[in-house]
Chain A
């Protein structure tokens, strides 16, 4: 039982915008009232928000772990000591599992979605999440280059769904996943066929009778038909390529009328010609999103400094390898996906990096509906999640932003509309939308991202501070499931978080369809593929799909 008393509450999902009031917590939930003698947390003069929700991050699984192994120098420079409540660990752009959980919590985040798990490696991702304390975590299952699904998509024909919906639901159940992720559909398969790629939505995936457009369309329809709480989560084709905004628009047009979430839109908002210097097309994409309520995006903001690029889009990593000449990992995952990793640094004097930084800010500042253009850095691709407070300051503090704009490569800034002195400053209410209420709604997590009665008792309390970076970097209190976890930058407890997984009904007959396809393509037995081990899956909370009940 805990009463967070007399703070200024920002709970946009319930229309509360800075009202001074109490938030009552009991038994892990927000409740209407508490006895007057219930324990109190004095929040007078402070800002109260729901716990943060990260819709797109990379925190667990084989790709993240391969990246950890690549960065001993980062770990050496950033260590966490063992304490009475903490396991030890290391940081850098790709922290160890324990450090990841602690640091998200210390930042006031209580829910994190890992955006790219190869289904074959689900056990590995789940084991890492079990060692990632405090935060409730979900993962999205990579399905955009899955040979078995390709076959079912081809069979379904250009307009049907066939057995794809059942197969998608089977895969989610088999892995403990939450939603569906498509990464460069078709392109990663082509990468494994002699280092090639697709460049348009109508390129055929050689010999397989499907195109990126066909894959996008069929899986988006399947996800809607299943009524999954989160729409299909798409990393578009042609990431990073000058002129790719046309592919992005084409993708959105293809998915018109169906729900879709575009990942790290910034990386897909480039004008110009392939191979030449890109320019910004953020205004056009922001405009499109404004007029299509069924579509949403996270920004994938780039921040200057160290990063680690880590993606299932392996052909992109090969390009980055040639740019940096540094460390590079490629890992082909049979019949499902690929993986590429390149440590990277974004520099403000570099034209492309400054342009990427500027495009991210444009997307934030031009979008009219913060509920559908939410905050991410695609951790650790654009920057570490630890840079969120600085990003928040860029959005909230125009003077600071203009100073930073003046420091960046001016040719690049000239290719954006940032010089027009965009006046917009995010309010605390807007920040509450893009960092918790919006992501929770897009994920379909009804108990997250708000403080209405029945919501999870995940609450962050900040000291009001004109320096918004400082304010958001060190919450005064973080409460998870009603329990005080963080006080003034100190961890007080580190309980395990829950796995958030979807519950989607499907026809079990689909296994008969999958069985022969499986034997042909995998090097594990079908009987060993689904994760059943309770120590990997529990504690978990199921979020139900509503078959036939979803609306765009």
Chain B
């Protein structure tokens, strides 16, 4: 048994200090992971999935490639979605394939990204937050549950703040509807009903600009607590706002994200304040790869032979809910578990190709399902952490099955008319 270094690409923290014990072609143990990381390694090594299935029947990879290419060639409007749980190299291949088949491609967490596109944002990598921030505000974010090692890595959990040696003034404040696990690590909790994000953030913008607020109109807002929060943010030399997908999950998510970015920008005139959106897996990589190849971070259509982007029109969820796509290539994504019932229903009715190292319900119901060798375990690669820092994925184990990248490249080659080997 030997110890090997590994990177966990489970949650978006990209922890690259993982140690795995490698026995005879299997992982014997994993160290330094959080509970999500344990699951990430386990799910990708547990079942020996068939390398390829067509209509539930095990087949040669080559045959599955043929069937996939035929489906995608025949489709009028194929959709490529998922992409958060694979490496940048596979994402590159996916964008290339989407272009070749004139597909709509969308990694699919649009609203927060669209706000950043419309407004810009001030942000930072983990190291600068860890070493410079005096104040971290978790707004509608519960990193203790969603990104368990984030606060320890930023030294903003209770233990990290106590041991930081930088004085007691470092502070964690949580703004959320309920007492989450992160609240247990925090110094201050500000309760805010979920529907009041925009009002609270906009009121804070007014407070930053010393504009008086009519308290009668804002009776549902915890104005005193928000005022104190604004004062702290203005006074601190380096402040950080973590925000989670909860902020932009609702229909009005776009304006919420816009309000948060606007607040950070207002604060940045006097204090050094940055925002860090919590992202999952390699969602940041998907956004980055799509942006460098097309100019757009999400919701891209290649139907006209060049990239066009329009969140809503070309968002994966919308294209499915409206019943527009007539085939779907789903990369590393439990679509049926994560999409709206209406979209999931539609996915069940169209031919789907699933490329994933995990056993999911989506893969079981797929026309073609590839059980791939996972990046980060059997294949090397790159992921972008939620802060944009690229980290390498190692391959502590070997597998003769193809990885996501190889499957996507083979389908692209077959679509282009190249014969199989």
Contacts and interface: CB of A to CB of B under 8 A. Distances in A.
B406 to A, nearest CB: 13
B126 A88 contact: no
Given A81-B306, A334-B126, A318 B237 contact: no
A74 to B, nearest CB: 8
Contacts of B184: none
A332 B116 CA distance: 16
B122 interface: yes
Contact of A65 (B92, B238, B292, B309): B292
A533 B99 contact: no
Given A334-B127, A535-B89, A69 B306 contact: no
Main secondary structure of the interface of A (DSSP, over half): mixed
A195 B271 contact: yes
**Which of A128, A191, A334 has the most C-beta atoms of chain B within 10 angstroms of its own C-beta?**
A334
Contacts of B388: 62, 121, 124, 331
A477 interface: no
Contact of B120 (A64, A193, A328, A533): A328
Interface stretch (B294-302, B347-355, B359-367): B294-302
B305 A131 contact: no
Contacts of B75: none
B391 interface: yes
B264 to A, nearest CB: 9
A291 interface: no
Interface in B120-163: 120-128, 130-132, 153
A521 B306 contact: no
A528 B125 contact: no
B7 interface: yes
A128 B292 contact: yes
A79 B306 contact: yes
B53 interface: no
B16 interface: yes
Interface in A104-129: 120-121, 123-124, 127-128
B17 A331 contact: no
Main secondary structure of the interface of B (DSSP, over half): mixed
B292 A131 contact: yes
B120 A68 contact: no
Nearest to B102: A82
B404 interface: no
A330 B389 contact: no
Interface string A74-94: 011001111000011110101
Interface in B285-322: 287-289, 291-297, 302, 304-309
B124 A331 contact: yes
Interface in B223-240: 237-238
B390 A75 contact: no
A528 B120 contact: no
A89 B294 contact: yes
B399 interface: no
20 contacts: A64-B292, A72-B296, A75-B307, A76-B308, A79-B308, A89-B307, A90-B295, A90-B307, A98-B293, A127-B88, A127-B289, A193-B132, A193-B237, A195-B268, A330-B274, A332-B124, A523-B153, A528-B16, A532-B392, A533-B382
B384 interface: yes
Nearest to A92: B295
B50 interface: no
Nearest to B100: A82
Contacts of A90: 294-296, 306-307
Contacts of B118: 327
B126 A523 contact: yes
Contact of A81 (B126, B132, B305, B390): B305
A523 B130 contact: yes
B96 interface: yes
B272 A194 contact: yes
A14 B70 CA distance: 57
A124 B293 contact: no
Interface in A520-552: 521-525, 527-528, 532-533, 535-536
Nearest to A99: B295
B265 interface: yes
A75 B295 contact: yes
B117 interface: yes
Contacts of B131: 334-335, 521
B270 interface: yes
Contacts of B34: none
A319 B259 CA distance: 22
Given A90-B306, A332-B124, A68 B96 contact: no
Contact of A524 (B130, B297, B380, B389): B389
A333 interface: yes
Contact of B302 (A88, A330, A332, A525): A88
A328 B265 contact: yes
Given A131-B292, A334-B126, A88 B307 contact: yes
Given A194-B238, A523-B130, A528 B292 contact: no
Contacts of A435: none
A96 B297 CA distance: 11
B124 A123 contact: no
